[in-house]
Structure 1
């Protein structure tokens, strides 16, 4: 931030001045000629061009045009230059002749105004190919370790950051257009049904492209070495410095700071910052919510058409069809096709499936018995005193089961403690229970910032992330598990080291 942020922009004065129509016509003529590579214009040329628009009053003269040009020079919109050509009359000889050119500020302001005139809504688009392009370019950056011949680093950065800006701006504009008042009103009409399928398919394709590449980009940005990024940005700054800048050259330090800020903004957009969700996550959720809203409105419109229509004949035919079926499984299939899924009720508790195999169907597992209590506001009738149930046998069974589980876990811990450290890739085939313990310890370490935990048995476990994105295959008795090649270190921690803190914080300092 600089002091210029506090100063007014005098170059925009012509947009709200008293004679705004005359000034805007002159600046628009200058901008059109600037697009045609005609930079320096005489007052007579400006006057003829403005009059040709046919927008100003008929009594507009060359002298008024000259006064307007002088005012625009005072506002720093135009730059005058003395015209040393020959004079055709005495008046031209006595009067100083100038040519005028737009300043860089004026060019950008007029370009902005011309763009605003073309806006007819938010616009924008969802292009999943931009995710793929950014992913490919970042992989190339990581592969070449940030070292590029002269000229290639800047071209690669322009491609990466240009696609990133195009992706964010177009996506935000398109999502905003779907949430505008005009589109909300369209979704409530029957004409929206013609667009429902195409818009939903368009959003679904974008979601698939986002899920396929955005999280790969997040992984690359999170794991790429800082030295590689520093070398790459230095090469980009070198290429940018090689481009001649004659108006106001930027120092190498300022260029490098700007590049680092742009890189950090891209990392924050894809990977988040300080435990905050990334903008990619919000974009995905917003797109999914938009799809759900479109489908909801379409169903609501279709339901309006069905109101008042008698379905007696359809239900009678369906009832006879059910009555004619002899197999209960056929009845289940017919009900599933006709009625779909029933409304689910969620109960809190442990799902006692009896197996960790994901291929076991819910129909093959036994039921979980849960006692439900009435939620009625009516007071239940007092049925008198009741007997106290004896649960000692059930408690004893639960206690024995818990102790057996603790003994198994302790045996695994002692075996790993003897080895001091293990790497996933070096493990022999393990049992399903041992795999459960490994994943449980890894999950607890990942949830802790220090990547360390302390078990109730006084054994410290620390987790080290694999170098790069190295993965390993853990063989189990019921299948294989593909996972990162973590390194787990085990050590016995005394009571003096823990200092009574079971959460492992003191253990981290002693390590």
Structure 2
């Protein structure tokens, strides 16, 4: 739970290379044999012992001693193994000088193999919600507070190990359990009817944890708040002294580094239980997540029960309610019964004009004049055969639309003929034009500009060419509905020559 970062943490980790190397099966087998022998308290192994141990598993075919020697040297280069010269059994100088080594696992490799062995047994998030760890934490904090941070030799380290291990285990188990409740497997389980059998047990388990958390966690908050920074610092100093008394042959932390690590752990413990500043404590977040999990379990159970009841016929129940309504003599009693049986109906907003017969504000809705509105059924079933509707005749409407289109086409043909008779038209020489003429001219200019030849052919076969204005000369096209500033284009029209047929 230490959030600090250093450059040493960002280095590459060559110890993991054997997990994805080309000969991964051979490397994994060798490392697993070393780890099993390490658990049996056998640390330094010779090449022959490793080769015989791996061969007994029968998983590597055609495996030789030379390959085993090469694998061991490669693992040594990746810092998974360390070696020393083995010359104890040499009978001659040549045997002693021949390269014979013993190999041992490095600390990194031990943790990697321990992690891999744990991963092989994982089938989910696991975890649990146990309040017994809170009792251990409270007991250790009481000991620190009552002693003022002063402990006998060796007792401070034991108290810290017990305190922080309980805190760490409780936090990790709770986080894993909450995560398991939001996993895909849990979502699928909550969608089955088998979930209804364990719903009550799971809800009781979560509620029991909430009660224990609310009862014991606040006691821990009280103990932490009563432990002053001086007492905490004294306690940490005694823990450092106990740790430094332990003999260590390999490189270990200095007293300053160990004190900083312990101080960080103590701050993590305080931050988990106590609110500091505007940030919420991890305790509040865990309590909220547990309550949300309980609500999720209840929602899933209700959804499953509603799904089971959806296919059950309620005909008899509704007939009984109908008979109950029929036996009532008062309309007010019927309203009360409807309120108890059906509750509030979903509101619907219908448009209509209120016909007020009185200006009293406290008049009951049941005394208002009803507004009748026909409502179409949304059911896809056709309850009754509807009468056949006659085919609508739209011939007159089509004739009117056709007449309009023909009139427009005739106007366009006449306009094209007028322009073609002039053979050449310049925008600045048009004078005042109407809106239709302006739109047609702009349409022609657009079609010419979109063509590489700056021309197009109309439906009547007249070719329209566009000549661009010289030196970007501008003009104003005066229209009935306004003025348009535009380049002074010139439009020329080529009428195709028609040969006359002579009879005679």
Flag the 1:113–1:381 CA change in 2: closer, same or farther, 3 A: same
**Which residue of 1 is the match for residue 8 of structure 2?**
4
CA distance in 1, matches of 2:159, 2:168: 14
Q: TM-score, normalised by structure 2?
A: 0.63
CA distance in 2, matches of 1:322, 1:213: 55
Deviation sequence 1:161-209 (CA, Å, 0-9, x none): 1001000100110110110011101111111112211111111111111
Flag the 1:144–1:299 CA change in 2: closer, same or farther, 3 A: same
* 1:288 aligned counterpart, secondary structure: helix
Q: Does 1:214 align with 2:217?
A: yes
Within-5 A mapping of 1:112-511: 112-314=115-317
* 1:119 aligned counterpart, secondary structure: coil
* 1:147 aligned counterpart, secondary structure: coil
Q: Does 1:55 align with 2:59?
A: yes
Deviation sequence 1:346-378 (CA, Å, 0-9, x none): xxxxxxxxxxxxxxxxxxxxxxxxxxxx99696
Post-superposition shift, 1:265? Answer: 0.9
CA distance in 2, matches of 1:320, 1:281: 53
Post-superposition shift, 1:273? Answer: 2.9
CA distance in 2, matches of 1:375, 1:195: 40
Gaps of at least 5 residues in structure 2 are 329-336, 360-504
1:29 to 33, 43, 60: 33
* 1:272 aligned counterpart, secondary structure: coil
CA distance in 1, matches of 2:97, 2:220: 68
Post-superposition shift, 1:77? Answer: 1.2
Over the aligned positions, Cα root-mean-square deviation in angstroms equals 3.3
Post-superposition shift, 1:3? Answer: 2.7
Is the contact between residue 131 and residue 213 of structure 2 (CA under 8 Å) also seen in structure 1?
yes
Flag the 1:89–1:258 CA change in 2: closer, same or farther, 3 A: same
* 2:130 aligned counterpart, secondary structure: coil
CA distance in 1, matches of 2:254, 2:242: 13
Flag the 1:322–1:278 CA change in 2: closer, same or farther, 3 A: farther
Flag the 1:6–1:305 CA change in 2: closer, same or farther, 3 A: closer
CA distance in 2, matches of 1:8, 1:234: 34
Is the contact between residue 137 and residue 160 of structure 1 (CA under 8 Å) also seen in structure 2?
yes
Q: TM-score, normalised by structure 1?
A: 0.62
* 1:265 aligned counterpart, secondary structure: helix
Deviation sequence 1:315-365 (CA, Å, 0-9, x none): 66678899999xxxxxxxx999x979x78xxxxxxxxxxxxxxxxxxxxxx
1:96 to 81, 99, 120: 99
* 2:103 aligned counterpart, secondary structure: strand
Is the contact between residue 48 and residue 65 of structure 2 (CA under 8 Å) also seen in structure 1?
yes
Flag the 1:318–1:150 CA change in 2: closer, same or farther, 3 A: farther
**Which residue of 2 is the match for residue 71 of structure 1?**
74
* 1:190 aligned counterpart, secondary structure: coil
Gaps of at least 5 residues in structure 1 are 326-333, 344-373, 387-511
* 2:63 aligned counterpart, secondary structure: coil
Flag the 1:245–1:94 CA change in 2: closer, same or farther, 3 A: closer
Is the contact between residue 87 and residue 96 of structure 2 (CA under 8 Å) also seen in structure 1?
no
Deviation sequence 1:39-68 (CA, Å, 0-9, x none): 0111000001111121112x2110111111
Alignment: residue pair count = 346
Post-superposition shift, 1:250? Answer: 1.7
Say which one has the larger Rg: 2
Is the contact between residue 79 and residue 106 of structure 2 (CA under 8 Å) also seen in structure 1?
yes
**Which residue of 2 is the match for residue 370 of structure 1?**
none
Flag the 1:82–1:195 CA change in 2: closer, same or farther, 3 A: same
Flag the 1:188–1:236 CA change in 2: closer, same or farther, 3 A: same
CA distance in 2, matches of 1:259, 1:318: 71
Q: Does 1:43 align with 2:47?
A: yes
CA distance in 2, matches of 1:155, 1:222: 22
Is the contact between residue 129 and residue 209 of structure 1 (CA under 8 Å) also seen in structure 2?
no
Flag the 1:228–1:377 CA change in 2: closer, same or farther, 3 A: farther
Flag the 1:150–1:199 CA change in 2: closer, same or farther, 3 A: same
**Which residue of 2 is the match for residue 331 of structure 1?**
none
Deviation sequence 1:446-478 (CA, Å, 0-9, x none): xxxxxxxxxxxxxxxxxxxxxxxxxxxxxxxxx
* 1:246 aligned counterpart, secondary structure: coil
Flag the 1:155–1:319 CA change in 2: closer, same or farther, 3 A: farther
Flag the 1:317–1:254 CA change in 2: closer, same or farther, 3 A: same
**Which residue of 1 is the match for residue 403 of structure 2?**
none
Q: Which stretch shows the higher mean deviation, 79-88 or 212-221?
A: 79-88
* 1:8 aligned counterpart, secondary structure: coil
Flag the 1:77–1:323 CA change in 2: closer, same or farther, 3 A: same
Point out 4+ residue stretches in structure 1 off by more than 4 angstroms. 88-94, 314-325, 374-383
